[in-house]
Structure 1
């Protein structure tokens, strides 16, 4: 078990993650602003459906951000420990959860903590979430965090991961889309990261294969798949929109057109 004193400073300082980051730029910000966390974006609904959280479950939400996952797990009766190393995230989650009914709020423990040194006993959790966390940790940091998750999960416990972007999409699919847009008179940057003001916080972007290898290396029985959480309603051309919606679903073709990577990782055991 690692302790905070054992750790090197994180590659991405927690101060990088401001309230503006969580309130304006994190996927699902629109739903959060209108509902306070009761409405979920698809990237969070899918992991919750997979987890099938039950009343008796002890749940760990790593990189909890605004606290939506904690809220929905607690509403299903689970005990939830939500951690984030960014003070802005914990502050925002505290504010949003202050308005929920006390029977739900008392089932949630918010903590500022580092995923590389989880302050929990061995085999103490049934379910863990790492949703949009992987890409923010360097490879050594990710290995440390996954080893800690493996430690705190009970035998047979599960870890659910979502990460984006898919580097294969950035290398192929995005470039083809950029070409189509250029023909239509819309000019997109060669590097898709240039569309986002917080691009420097992504230090370990993945492919389905690299994520599978990383989870397997750290002892998990692993299934990785692509499943789009994007809406293409903004695309005015119905032919282009249909193509985008189709390519993200077709096996093998979606390897370079789908930008969302999911994983279900299980700790061996009962």
Structure 2
């Protein structure tokens, strides 16, 4: 029951916040420095763009937890065939309105409504963080199932020891409230680069690697004041990106990105 409650809390949260995500993506179109979401998402989007650029012409991409459809639009612009899965009704409605040329189904990461070996790439952006261990394992195995030989999976995760201190904050919330999640603050599963690679290998991926993004605790600056956060981010961005290239920085980055590859047969 706990696994289902955790999953439903995440769905309810995103169903309620569909409009907010649309606003954030409009802000991202104006400037990646607009707020903490836009700055962090711009770093992830750059990696998603690299993945899309590496795929064959007319390749098929599945966005699991596609939200408002932003990455589906990017896939179509890259000349790819776009498919999405989204469990939150409000998000699903927005995605279908925004991206009518994509095939978007209602569903969950743990039971993907597609046949085996269909996709060249699967992405899960800010999905697994909201699932518990059992659901995460199922979701990774489902992604592996629907990938073609040579296919790739890109997922984002939350670093346990990120310098923004989110793990400490989440632990404090759970101690004060006597529970690990609620409708306002959904459950969060934390990872390290080592655990991310291990999970991908256990799910059947032949190769696994990780990258870190957003090392500087800029989310704290944005929370203090968005204008100040944006100014600070613009000043430290180049140095922060350079430091993130070092493997030693990965365990402390605000975003942990893991990529799993299926061997070509």
Global fold match (TM > 0.5): yes
Q: Which has the higher helix share?
A: 2
1:199-225 Cα deviation digits (max 9, x unpaired): 632331222111111111111110112
1:77 aligned partner: 79
What's the TM-score once normalised by structure 2's chain length? 0.73
Which residue is 1:269 aligned to?
264
Unaligned 5+ runs, structure 2: 32-40, 174-181, 219-227
- Aligned residues of 1:22 and 1:29 also touching (Cα < 8 A): no
Structure number with higher relative contact order (C-alpha < 8 Å, ≥ 6 residues apart): 2
Q: 11, 16, 20: which one pairs with 2:13?
A: 16
Deviation for aligned residue 1:50: 2.5
Which residue does 1:118 correspond to in 2?
112
Would the alpha carbon gap of residues 241 and 149 (structure 1) be closer, same or farther in structure 2, given more than 3 Å must change?
closer
SS in 1 for 2:210: strand
Question: Which consecutive segments of 4 or more residues in structure 1 shift more than 6 A?
Answer: 192-195, 235-238
Q: Which structure has the larger Rg over C-alpha atoms?
A: 1
- CA distance in 1: counterparts of 2:134 and 2:106, whole angstroms: 21
Change (3 A) 1:11 1:244: same
User: What is the aligned counterpart of 2:253 among 246, 258, 269?
Assistant: 258
Alpha-carbon separation, structure 1, partners of 2:30 and 2:237: 30
**Is the Cα–Cα contact under 8 Å of residues 193 and 199 in structure 1 kept in the other structure?**
no
TM-score (norm 1): 0.72
Residue aligned with 1:41, SS: helix
Match of 1:89 in 2: 91
For structure 1, list consecutive stretches of 5 or more residues without a partner in the other structure.
Answer: 1-7, 35-39, 98-104, 176-187
RMSD: 3.7
Q: Is the 8 A contact 1:158 1:264 kept in 2?
A: yes
